[in-house]
Amino acid sequence: MQKMDWRKLLSKKRLGRTEYKEKPSRPVFQIDFDRIIFSSAFRRLQDKTQVFPLAESDYVRTRLTHSLETSCIGRSLGTIIGKYIIEKHALNDVHASDFGTIVATACLAHDIGNPPLGHSGEDAIRHWFKHSASGRKLVNRLSKAQKADLMNFEGNAQGFRVLSRLQYPDNIGGMQLTCATLGAYTKYPRESYMGESIIKDKSVKKWGFFQNDKDLFKEVANEVGLIPKSTKYARWCRHPLAYLVEAADDVTYTVIDFEDGYRVGYITYDIVHDYLSSIINNSEVEDKLKEISGEKEKIEYLRAKAINKLITEVSDSFKRNEDAILQGEFKEALISKIDSKANLNKIIEISQKKVYSSRNVLEIEAAGFGVLGGLLEEFVSAVEDVARKGDRASQKSKKLLSLVPAQFLEEENKPCKELYVRLLQLIDFIAGMTDSYAVSLYKKISGISIPRG
């Protein structure tokens, strides 16, 4: 049976670069990490909602803090697995820290393509292309695959686009990260349109790259040796380290959203204590809790211990399933194969009822539909007007076009001649906005608030 090779999976080749000489003073995967940290796309995550509206509390997480915490867990998982893989496969010239840095970097970037205004941001973009008269009319002029890209908009695919094209657009390959890092980042290595087939595999639950970026991902897949899973469509098995990226995110949002739910008063101390303690299952921890006076500090201690336990369980799950993973045949999430699965499912169920369905969370998600749908309606209509009529377009359309950064237009700040690319560029513009900028711009162009000089 075909099997992936760890040496290829750890490829240091940079996307878009024909050759690259590693500097002994700076490990190549550490440079990937640094490029993400210093990118404007990553910085904008500080003003993108994770779950709770930013003004509700200065304690709860933004997408930036969530990404940093996920990266820390990913680094631990990667390093643990790295030590195991190096010993098992005699990779004597590889360091466990290489695995840790690859996973940490992919985790750092895992939300970098998500649009503003919470988890409904993706739904808002999909909804506009599926249900608005303007959106439906335009997508019906596209191929099936291009149509699927827009009607099933996916933040993971937008993230790959940010990393491989939008950030540093003058470079072939964008940020020119290593193929190992990009492979680990891509949890869903397939295109959006797969015909009518239904495949029971966690790696195809969503999709990972637009038609416009398919060749870029193909270069990554070939370089790291991902196993092709279709002869008809662009689909590969996952990079093994992508399972660790997924697990780090699963652990972070499950435990941290639960903790945040307590901090804003939606979940009681007793509930959080009981479920985190059931994961830890250690009497010494309960003894330590008696020495901690404040409830907040007790929850923080339990959260840390629960995460530590889950890191161990996830690592063990990877080790047990490594052969199936390397064969491209492991079809579930690592977290579904751990002892704490039932407790985590219950925590998610409680969060769904008490946190994700709370009034404040629903309000910002509802706002996402209005704001992002409104921005798409205004800017797409304007750009289409200019694309069709040129200088004969309305003054409103011309003024709106002038608000679109040159990066998302063609030469002389004109709309791209190809409809699909034109629409992608506007999605790039809107999905990259922060919460504050999206709301402010929407208010201004709709006349709700008037700019003051």
Q: Tell me the CATH class for 245-353.
A: mainly alpha
Q: Is 346 exposed, middle or buried (0-12, 13-18, 19+ CB in 10 A)?
A: middle
Does pLDDT of 113 surpass 60?
A: yes
Q: Please determine whether the domains at 6-116+145-240 and 245-353 fall in the same fold group of CATH.
A: no
Residue in the block written with tokens 């369980």: 313
Query: Given this model, what pLDDT does residue 202 score?
Result: 67
- Is residue 54 classed as helix, strand or coil in its secondary structure? coil
Q: How far apart (Å, rounded) are the C-alpha atoms in residues 41 and 400?
A: 23
For 60-75, what is each residue's pLDDT tens digit? 678 999 999 999 999 9
For 373-387, what is each residue's pLDDT tens digit? 999 999 999 999 999
Q: How far apart (Å, rounded) are the C-alpha atoms in residues 252 and 272?
A: 15
Residue in the block written with tokens 């003073």: 25
Query: Given this model, what pLDDT does residue 54 score?
Result: 52
Q: How far apart (Å, rounded) are the C-alpha atoms in residues 186 and 307?
A: 24
Local confidence band at 21 (pLDDT 50, 70, 90 cut-offs): confident
Query: Given this model, what pLDDT does residue 22 score?
Result: 73
Query: Given this model, what pLDDT does residue 446 score?
Result: 87
Lowest mean pLDDT among 11-15, 16-20, 340-344: 16-20
Query: Are the C-beta atoms of residues 78 and 242 closer than 8 Å to each other?
Result: no
- Mean pLDDT, rounded, of the chain: 93
Does pLDDT of 404 surpass 60?
A: yes
What percentage of the chain has pLDDT greater than the value 90? 80
Tokens of 248: 């780090």
Query: Given this model, what pLDDT does residue 230 score?
Result: 93
Name every residue whose Cβ is closer than 8 Å to that of residue 105 and which is 6 or more positions away in sequence. 29, 32, 33, 36, 71, 177, 181, 184, 185
For 314-365, what is each residue's pLDDT tens digit? 999 999 999 999 999 999 999 999 999 999 999 999 998 988 887 877 887 7
For 278-317, what is each residue's pLDDT tens digit? 999 888 888 888 899 999 999 999 999 999 999 999 999 9
Amino acid symbol at 443? K
Query: Given this model, what pLDDT does residue 400 score?
Result: 96
Tokens of 395: 């003054």
Confidence (pTM): 0.95
- How far CA 87 is from CA of 90, 99, 101, 314, in Å, comes to 5, 13, 18, 19
Q: Which CATH architecture is the domain 6-116+145-240 placed in?
A: Orthogonal Bundle (1.10)
Query: Given this model, what pLDDT does residue 26 score?
Result: 87
Query: Given this model, what pLDDT does residue 284 score?
Result: 83
Tokens of 289: 């809790």
Task: Enumerate the β-bridge partners of residue 23.
Answer: 26
Residues 123-132: what's their mean pLDDT?
A: 96
Amino acid symbol at 190? R
Query: What are the φ and ψ backbone dihedral angles of 206, each rounded to 5 degrees?
Result: -125, -165
Residues 213-228: what's their mean pLDDT?
A: 98
Amino acid symbol at 91? L
**What's the half-sphere exposure (Cβ side, CA atoms, 13 Å) at 403?**
20
Ordered by start, the domain boundaries in the chain are 6-116+145-240, 245-353
Tokens of 408: 């998302």
In angstroms, how far is CA 192 from the centroid of its own chain?
A: 16
Amino acid symbol at 313? E
Q: How far apart (Å, rounded) are the C-alpha atoms in residues 65 and 74?
A: 14
Residue in the block written with tokens 């303690």: 277
Does pLDDT of 223 surpass 90?
A: yes
Residues 403-432: what's their mean pLDDT?
A: 96
Q: How far apart (Å, rounded) are the C-alpha atoms in residues 35 and 30?
A: 9
Residues 141-155: what's their mean pLDDT?
A: 97
Greatest Cα pair distance in the chain: 76
Query: What are the φ and ψ backbone dihedral angles of 33, each rounded to 5 degrees?
Result: -60, -45
Q: How many CB atoms lie within 10 A of CB 207?
A: 24
Amino acid symbol at 205? K
